[in-house]
Amino acid sequence: MNRHQLGHTNLSVTPLGLGMAALGRPGYINLGHAGDLNEDYNVAAMESHAHDVLDAAWAAGIRYFDAARSYGRAEAFLGSWLTARNLSPAEVTVGSKWGYTYTADWQVEAAKHEVKDHTLPVLQRQIDESRALLGEFLDLYQIHSATLDSGVLQNEAVLDELTRLKAGGLKIGLSLSGDRQAETLYRALEIETADGRLLFDAVQATWNLLEQSAGPALQAAHAAGLGVIVKEALANGRLTPRSKEPKMALLRQLAADKGITMDALALAAVLAQPWAGVVLSGAATVQQLQANVKAVDVAWDEETAVRLQALVEAPAPYWQTRSQLAWN
């Protein structure tokens, strides 16, 4: 898998990356997540399982890895894998996120799995925590699910601290969530440092065959020099054989016609976007990772793109459906 530069940064990435959301904690909202972990939530067992998936990603050529403070022990598992494999920072690019605190206490079911707080004390605490686990491997630090409502993009103290971290060599990004992703991104593109440079080096957003509303904003970000990372390209499992939705018969049939899996075709749709710098696989098993990677070799064509437009949903119902997915 060829490496390329992420936006105007000096970060070297691959077309596919591995997101750690489903690997660092017992509970997640992906369809069938419990089965992926064999319902074995022992910390050592989960760390070994995460290392197996990371090994498969490495073998497949993936060199971008993405975690977050709220993904349970994802940063710890990634850090221990990097150390155990004797990798150097030059061989991989690592991103993580701050702004949510993991609160599920290693349980599948919890009153709250994570608590959002985009204030300066949380940023200062979590950057220290991330660096303690990832050390010099940490390249990109992102606001986790920045929204207009959270006020983080108007918080001068936070923006000043992010500017300080950027001046120290860390790349700064933001991830987006919800049906106002585009509005939030356009606001972020207005934020500059004192020397007139854009504060943000990268943006991570949801874009898939069902939710495409952020596309024009992501194109604008790409044109402005930001690296674009795409998350939830498989819509938390809705774009895989695990989906029971009748309309997914179209995706299933088109994939079968091409002799590939549903997930490979869905990922290929994202990889085909000219603004996409890295598309994250959210694989929770080696088998899923190996299936996802085949998307890189899928020949994307306009006829398929047009036919799959039938799957597109309006943002509000898409995000409402996502909010109703069960932690498992």
- Sign for the pseudo-dihedral over CA of 207, 208, 210, 216: positive
Phi-psi region of 285 (alpha: psi -120 to 50; beta: other; left: phi over 0): beta
* 302: enclosing H helix or E strand: helix 302-308
Residue type, 236: N
Q: How far apart are CA 236 and CA 266, in angstroms?
A: 12
Enumerate residues 6+ apart whose C-beta is below 8 A from 131: 138
Angle, in degrees to the nearest 10, between helices 120-134 and 74-84: 30
Coarse DSSP helix, strand, coil percentages of the chain, rounded to the nearest 5 percent: 45, 15, 40
Q: Which two tokens stand for residue 281?
A: 């696989």
Reading the chain (328 residues) residue by residue, the pLDDT tens digits are 999 999 999 999 999 999 999 999 998 889 888 889 888 899 999 999 999 999 999 999 999 999 999 999 999 999 999 999 999 999 999 999 999 999 877 787 777 788 999 999 999 999 999 999 999 999 999 999 999 999 999 999 999 999 999 999 999 999 999 999 999 999 999 999 999 999 999 999 999 999 999 999 999 999 999 999 999 999 999 999 999 999 999 999 999 999 999 999 999 999 999 999 999 999 999 999 999 999 999 999 999 999 999 999 999 999 999 999 988 8
C-beta separation of 7 from 225 below 8 A: yes
Q: How far apart are CA 35 and CA 121, in angstroms?
A: 37
How much is the pLDDT for 39? 86
Q: How far apart are CA 118 and CA 147, in angstroms?
A: 10
Q: Which DSSP symbol is given to 226?
A: -
Q: Which two tokens stand for residue 67?
A: 């975690």
How much is the pLDDT for 127? 98
Q: How far apart are CA 54 and CA 45, in angstroms?
A: 14
CATH code that applies to domain 4-323: 3.20.20.100
> Helix, strand or coil for residue 289?
helix
